[in-house]
Amino acid sequence: MATIRKKAGKWQGLIRRSFHKPISKTFISKQDAQRWARETERLIEVGQYVDLSEANKTTLKALLERYEREVSSKKRSSADKYLIKNIMRHEIVSKVLAQISTTDVAKFRDYFDYDEPIRTVPSHRALAVFRGRTQEILDAKLVLDEEVVPGKPSLAEGRIAVHLGWSHSKRPSDDLIRKCIAWTWKVKLSLSLERDLFARLREAAEATAIKVFAENLRDLLLAAPAGKRVVMGLDPGIRTGVKVAVVSDTGKVLDTSTVYPHEPRKDWEGSIHTLARLCAAHGVNLIAIGNGTASRETDKLAADLIKRIQQLAPGTHIEKVVIV
């Protein structure tokens, strides 16, 4: 029978049954307590009630630590410790057991046994399996996709027999030859084939990994260091002039030119005019100046350019930076 009582400003539902320990839960409203009591009594009646009191107090981290302390420490294999260490890195360990759902657990499916055709294994998974096998945490085997019938030769044994031109004709020596073929496949050829196919899989996976790394590194090195901005690059020079290139926010070259603000031409005003025209035409918002001969003088040119542009268009924002 359920009892609903007010306690410390809240409503407590209490259920006492014969051969069942008391169950209680506290609620803000009396209606919630009554609803919980009715549902809990119904579950007890049909034998479906599960006591989650411990699950509501115990986190997954505490459970794994207890398992490692009481169970894994007595095992010779380090596989359990490796799995626990990996799971401990995830936020799920902070949840109490009652809050963990199938969605939370699904992300850890790669930690369990799986099988996959060797021709479809992606490179990252193949390398992970080989790494786990090297560390003696995983065991990888090559198995044939066929149902073995006791007393009958497997597909591989049949191919060996065809290669030898032999068939069982109930001759006195046929049983011995069949055992030799079966032993040859089991002890010699299957192991050799597994090593060969695993070696090919590793080579292909490593080649793919190197290719992916190279592509990612290329994208990183070619990425715009200043972000998505239209940049005017100035390569300082005295006699040969200052080389100019305008690059879009996607890395496309928009325009190029050469100006001569320094010795011997000293065309300061003409250089300012050319650079201002390029800034207006392409919406330049960053000027990058190379660090070399006449870089200090070119930095002054860029500062003068920005000052004049802002005088003519006060809302325009252009920055400059010297590339070391």
At 36-82, the pLDDT tens digits run 788 878 877 777 777 777 777 888 888 888 888 888 777 766 667 77
Report if residue 315 sits inside a domain: yes
Q: Single out the residue in 198, 221, 244 at which a domain terminates.
A: 221
Number of other residues whose CB lies within 10 A of the CB of residue 278: 20
Answer yes or no: do 177 and 252 share one domain.
no
Q: What is the pLDDT of residue 232?
A: 95
What DSSP line would sit under 271-308, residue for residue? HHHHHHHHHHHHT--EEEEESSTTHHHHHHHHHHHHHH
Answer yes or no: do 250 and 286 share one domain.
yes
Answer yes or no: do 16 and 64 share one domain.
no
Cα separation, 224 vs 204, in Å, equals 32
What is the tally of structural domains in the chain?
4
Range scoring the smallest mean pLDDT among 9-13, 121-125, 150-154, 167-171: 150-154
Determine which helix (DSSP H) or strand (DSSP E) holds 120, and give its type and residue range: none
Report if residue 242 sits inside a domain: yes
Residue 284 contacts residue 317 (beta carbons within 8 Å): no
Report if residue 298 sits inside a domain: yes
Average pLDDT of the chain, as a whole number: 84
Answer yes or no: do 240 and 314 share one domain.
yes
Answer yes or no: do 253 and 293 share one domain.
yes
Q: Single out the residue in 176, 196, 221 at which a domain terminates.
A: 221
Answer yes or no: do 215 and 162 share one domain.
yes
Answer yes or no: do 212 and 260 share one domain.
no
Residue 268 contacts residue 283 (beta carbons within 8 Å): no
Report if residue 136 sits inside a domain: no
Answer yes or no: do 8 and 32 share one domain.
yes
Cα separation, 68 vs 81, in Å, equals 7
Determine which helix (DSSP H) or strand (DSSP E) holds 174, and give its type and residue range: helix 174-183
Over residues 249-257, the mean pLDDT reads: 90
Instruction: List Cβ neighbours of 152 (8 Å cut-off, separation of 6 or more).
Output: none
pLDDT digits 0-9 by tens, 284-317: 999 999 988 889 999 999 999 999 999 988 888 8
Report if residue 21 sits inside a domain: yes
Structural domain span for residue 313: 231-323
Which CATH number covers residue 255? 3.30.420.140
Report if residue 138 sits inside a domain: no
Report if residue 141 sits inside a domain: no
Report if residue 248 sits inside a domain: yes
Answer yes or no: do 101 and 79 share one domain.
yes
pLDDT digits 0-9 by tens, 176-190: 888 898 888 888 888
Q: Single out the residue in 189, 221, 253 at which a domain terminates.
A: 221
User: pLDDT-based confidence at 197, cuts 50/70/90?
Assistant: very high
